[in-house]
Amino acid sequence: MDPQSLTAAPFTTAFDLHVHTRLYSGCSFIQVDDIVGQAVAAGLAGLALTEHGMRWPDAQFGELRRQAEAGGLVLINGQEIQARDSRGRSEGEYLIFGLQRSVTETLSASDLLKTVHDEGGVAVAAHPYKLSRGGRSHYYGAGDLIYRLDLDGIELCHPDHDETAMKKVRKAMVERNLPGTGGSDAHKILNIGFCVTLFENPVRNEEDFLRELRAGRLRAERRG
């Protein structure tokens, strides 16, 4: 898979792979009841809920997924997990899909990805070059650590990735032969769909989603 040749394919199925709700992410203002209508209005075929530090409970998510399906929307149950080294320092945040549980333990980035893969999931480095506003790390994300991790993808299009950040991600995509995803990291309802992942093939359910992401048959796009 050559990331630089992706534009030649007819990518039409748009997903927002990075959305937070007020119900399970205290920093978000998005009410759950507003998600489906806004996603449809934004022209999305699907979206992933990636709450901080947890995966939605199955029964609750199942009800929301049925509502989404009625609106023609595919809903993916993901989570955004922060990795930390043995000293407690951040090693970036990761969008996790395909696991059947919340990752509640504190793990290093390499241990987190091993756990995800051992349990049949996939992992995308979230906003690796999003600049930090302070503290000991230059980035909120993993930064150049993405070159040493067993990733399935790298978030390319993100509202806090400027052209410099995206250039760094594209370089890593080529050198690591990894796909670049798009996600709005929405915390406000109108931000849903700002950045998207376009899939080459139809994605009708989580099985399709995981298969296409692993195969890298996707590209990122900024729409906002």
Residue 75, in any domain of the structure: yes
The conformation of residue 22, written as its DSSP 8-state character, comes to T
Q: Which residues have CB under 8 Å from 25's CB, separation 6+?
A: 51, 52, 187
Task: Report the CATH number that the domain containing residue 20 is assigned in CATH.
Answer: 3.20.20.140
Q: What is the mean pLDDT of residues 98-114?
A: 98
Residue 5: predicted pLDDT: 41
Q: What is the mean pLDDT of residues 41-66?
A: 97
CB 2, CB 189: distance < 8 Å: no
Residue 12: predicted pLDDT: 80
Residue 132: predicted pLDDT: 83
Sign of the CA dihedral with 197 first, then 184, 91, and 24 last = negative
Q: What is the pLDDT of residues 154-165, one digit of tens each?
A: 999 999 999 999
Residue 1: predicted pLDDT: 45
Q: What is the pLDDT of residues 23-38, one digit of tens each?
A: 999 999 999 999 999 9
Q: What is the mean pLDDT of residues 47-72?
A: 97
Residue 134: predicted pLDDT: 60
CB 185, CB 193: distance < 8 Å: no
Residue 136, in any domain of the structure: yes
Q: Is the pLDDT of residue 177 over 50?
A: yes
Residue 6, in any domain of the structure: no
Residue 108, in any domain of the structure: yes
Average pLDDT over all residues of the chain = 94
Domain count, the chain: 1
Q: Is the pLDDT of residue 219 over 50?
A: yes
Q: What is the mean pLDDT of residues 59-86?
A: 97
**Helices (H), ranges, 76-162:** 109-118
pTM value is: 0.93
Residue 224: predicted pLDDT: 76
Residue 74, in any domain of the structure: yes
The residue segments making up the domain with residue 83 are 11-222
Residue 159, in any domain of the structure: yes
Q: Which residues have CB under 8 Å from 165's CB, separation 6+?
A: 128, 129, 130, 131, 158
Residue 3, in any domain of the structure: no
Residue 128, in any domain of the structure: yes
Residue 9: predicted pLDDT: 52
